[in-house]
Every structure is written in C-alpha cells, then in structure tokens.
Structure 1
Amino acid sequence: MTFSIVGRCAETGQLGIAISSSSIAVGARCPWLRAGVGAVATQNITLPALGPDILDLLDAGLAPLAAMDRALASNGFSQYRQLAVIDSQGRTALFTGSEALGVNNAVAGEQCVAAGNLLAGPQVIAAMVAAFEAHAGEPLADRLLAAMNAAVAAGGEAGPVHSAALSVVSDLLWPLVDLRVDWAEEDPLGELGKLWSAYRPQMQDYVTRALDPTQAPSYGVPGDE
C-alpha cells in the first residue's frame, strides 16, 4: 500500500521524505519533518500522531530508536504500524509490526531508511537504498526521487499507486520543498517528478522573497513589478 524513503544530506544537513501509496493523499498523513530535528514516515495502517510524537521526543534529546519505541508504546496497536525515522545527525530507526500488510520490508542505509508494505517483493526496498546511496553528492530531493524511481523499476507495489509526496526541510522554519500529488489514476511519481522539475528552478527565489523582499525577483505577473 505504501513505500517511502527518509534521508539526510550529510553536506547540507537537509532532511527529506519521498513517499507513494495506493491510498489518496499520502502526503497529508504519512510524512513528518522538523528542521534540525528529524524526519518520520509513518505508514501501513497509519497513525499520523506517531510522526509529531517521535519528532517531539527527538527534539527532547532521545535517540531515534528510543523515541520510536516510546511513541509506539504510548499509542498502542504497534503491530499494525510501519515506521522509518532519521534524526538530524543521520541516526536511523525502523519498525515493521507483525500485522503489516502483504510483502513488507524495511532497510537502513547510509543516511537513509526505506520501508514499504504490499510490495511486489522485498527487493523493492533494497533497490531504494542502493539508489539513494549511488546518487550521493546530488541534491537531496533528487536522491529521494531517484530512490522512488528505483523502487518502481524493481517492481514497486503489488497494485497501482495513486498518490505521492516529496518534502525537504533545511534550516528554515518552513519546508524548503513540500510537493504532493494527492490523486492520479496512474503514475503519481511521474507527476511528482514534473512538479519537482518545475519547482526546482524557483525554489531559492521563494526563500529570497521570504527573507529579503527587497531582493525578490519579478515573475512578470500583474502587480509584481
């Protein structure tokens, strides 16, 4: 039903998540990020509260495994949950409950964790980690999308996927990237890739506009002179 990757860029400290699901609007429930703290993908039978709970515990100084275990213990029904966690230092944790759907797998790599359920096969998750690591040195968003495309090439989900999301945080209070395809009849990852290609050239301009409006570039729209 869902496959995802959480990752960190060792050069910039950025944290990010890319995720896709057969369910509608996966980006509204499953990816949780906090600048300077960590990133959490909560999936399978999703409990969105686990995301902010774990981030709060990371922010309080707990390591990823301890934060994840405490959040799972306090919320119950852990056997239905699947989690991937990374903190601002690149430390990781992962969990897949005994009631996870279909073929499932979770793998930690260098500065990343990939996880999924209802997969075509366990090799899908290994392919994600390998792709993320192979694209070291590239922008984090590109590495995350490369991992997602590798998952599709390795078989992806057992059935069709319909939504996808890409989120990246840096040292700002707001997300650097927050792109979503809430529903597509087919190929939401392809649509997400198009969104990223359109947003990438403008990304830094939006940061500039926010931090120093006197330096804001013009986009040629009415009133923007």
Structure 2
Amino acid sequence: MKQNIIATFSIVAHDPETGEWGVAVQSKFLGVGSVVPWAKAGVGAIATQAFANPAYGPEGLQLLEGGLSAEEVVKRLTEQDSQKEDRQVGVVDAKGRAASFTGEQCYDWAGGKVGKHYAAQGNILVNEATVTEMGETFKQTEGPLADRLMAGIKAAQRAGGDSRGKQSAALLVVKEKAGYGELSDVAVDLRVDDHPDPIEELDRIYQLHQLYFGETKPEEVIPVDGKIQQEVLSHLNRLSYLTSEQVTEEEFYNAFTTYLHTENFEGREQERGKLDLKVLEYMRNQE
C-alpha cells in the first residue's frame, strides 16, 4: 500500500439560503484537517484525499474564483496530474454545483456520490453505504450547514466508515463576515487530530463552539430579576466572583460582567438587566 494515503470519507457542501460553504471529514490519518478541507466564502469548497494532492485545495479555489464550475475544476486539476488515478477530490462551487472524482487506483471501497449542493466521497471504506448515507443524511437534515455536515459524517460512520479505523476529524465552514468579530469569513474551523472517537470529540467541541460563538435567540433573553437574580448571585459566590450574598447592584453587575468575560461569553453578553439563558445553563453545570 502506498505511504501516507489519507483513507477517509468527506462531504463538501453549500447552503444557498445561508450563504455557507463547508467540508466535514473523518480519517484513519493523523491531523486530517491540515490536508483535506479547503473553502473560501463566495467561492466554494474542496476536499482532497486518498493519495492526496494538497495543491488541489488552493489551486482549485483559485480556479473556482475564476468562474469555473465544480466539474470544470475537477477536470482541470486532474487532467495534467500524472498520479490522478491515486487521487480523490470533491468540489462544490459558488452556485452549489458539485463534482467528485475517484481515481481508478484508489483502494476499495472507493467512490463518490453527488447530489444537490453536495459531493460525498471516500476511500478504503467498509462499504458503499458509508458514502450513500452521508449524502442522504445531509440532504434530510435541517439547520445550519455545520449541523448538516456533522450529521452526514456521523451517519457515514454508523453505516461502516473507514475500514482501517478512526483517528482524526475536522469541520470547516465559511461565510462572509461570519468569523470572530465579523473580521474574517471563517465561521467554524475545528480539528481533532488524534482521538479514539474523533467524530464524537469533534461534535463535543463543535457544541462548545456554538455555546461560545453561536447567536443568541431572542426567546432565550430573560430579565435578571427576582429568583433569576438570586440564582445568578448564588452562582457568582459559589464560583468565587463574589464573597458575599449582600452586595450592591453595581457590585453584582460588575462581578457578572467579569464572569462573562473570563468565561469567553462576550458574544452572549446582553444589555444590563438581561442575560442569555445559555449562560445561566452553563453556570448551573459549572463546578
């Protein structure tokens, strides 16, 4: 068997309603997130794997940005590659058109499925159902693109997965100004480099990502008064942000602000007198 083959399954996709592009991937390979997933807001997404050519990522995005379709990009990337029969690549373009390529020398089971706004592919898999279920679950799942991509790779693992086992996983989603402070286009960029259950671990840190950086829902903003204020006060004392239950309103809110900033909840900070229920739920479970 060739060395450094990225035996993996991945899905690249676009959500036209949210304006997101992304990739989710799992592999029996150390640090798969450093090689396979590539994406650029407004342009498209790419997964390069098997006997992977990392250049397919930046070069493919450049071709997409130049106006080529996903199918044209796959053709351009592979036609002059002397080792294309060992490669596998999935592409989705700015319009959501998708294409997948599997070279004839990729190890079984290897192949891809293309559907509306997605391309799913894998190599050295237990079975074809791994890829089929990945795509079908993605199509049937609702919510943000990251949720749908995660659902896809979870279904792929349940259906069979990588025949060599599990080691790493990654999730990359881009959208214009969706990054921290609206200063980048990277909405989600999470990696599990080495873990016995990489997809489960990726999902765990993704849920943390959503807790810290997800948008506050209007229905989850509540006033800080009565029993809620007493509960928050109790938690602030328990967690050593205060040392007494008898404090002024100013001391209470100063301590609460310190707590929010210490725990990286700036994104869920509300105007004085209100709080995000997600923060209170976190406080309740904090030791």
Give the TM-score taking structure 2 as reference length.
0.70
Q: Measure the CA separation in 2 of the matches of 1:128 and 1:18.
A: 10
Q: Which residue of 2 aligns with 1:221?
A: 262
Tell me the equivalent position of 1:155.
160
Alignment partner for residue 151 of structure 2, among 143, 146, 153?
146
Q: Distance in 1 between matches of 2:67 and 2:50?
A: 27
**How far 1:9 sits from its partner (Å)?**
1.2
Q: Deviations over 1:113-163 (max 9, x none)?
A: 10000111011100011100111x311111001011101111111121100
Instruction: Report the secondary structure of 2:126's partner residue.
Output: coil
* Residue aligned with 1:161, SS: coil
SS at match of 1:103: coil
Deviation at 1:204, TM superposition (A): 4.3
C-alpha deviation, 1:109, in angstroms = 1.3
Contact 2:97 2:116 in 1 (8 A): no
2:262 counterpart SS class:
coil
Aligned residue pairs total 212
Paired position in structure 1 for 2:204: 194
1 or 2 for the larger relative contact order (CA 8 Å, sep ≥6)?
1
1:183 has 2:194 as partner: yes
Whole-Å separation in 1 of the counterparts to 2:106 and 2:68: 26
Q: Is the partner of 1:48 in helix, strand or coil?
A: coil
Structure-2 separation of matches of 1:220 and 1:187: 32
- Residue 75 (structure 1) shift: 3.7
Separation in 1, partners of 2:151, 2:214:
21
Q: Identity percentage over the alignment?
A: 37
Say which SS state the counterpart of residue 176 (structure 1) adopts.
strand
Larger Rg: 2
Runs (5+) with no aligned partner, structure 2: 1-6, 178-183, 216-256, 267-287
Distance 1:70 1:32 in 2: 17
Deviation (angstroms), 1:25: 0.3
Any idea what SS the aligned residue of 1:90 has? Answer: coil
**TM-score w.r.t. length of structure 1:** 0.89
2:176 to 162, 166, 171: 171
1:76-131 Cα distance to aligned partner (Å, 9 max, x none): 31111101100121001110001112211200112111000011101110001110
State the Cα RMSD in Å.
Answer: 1.9
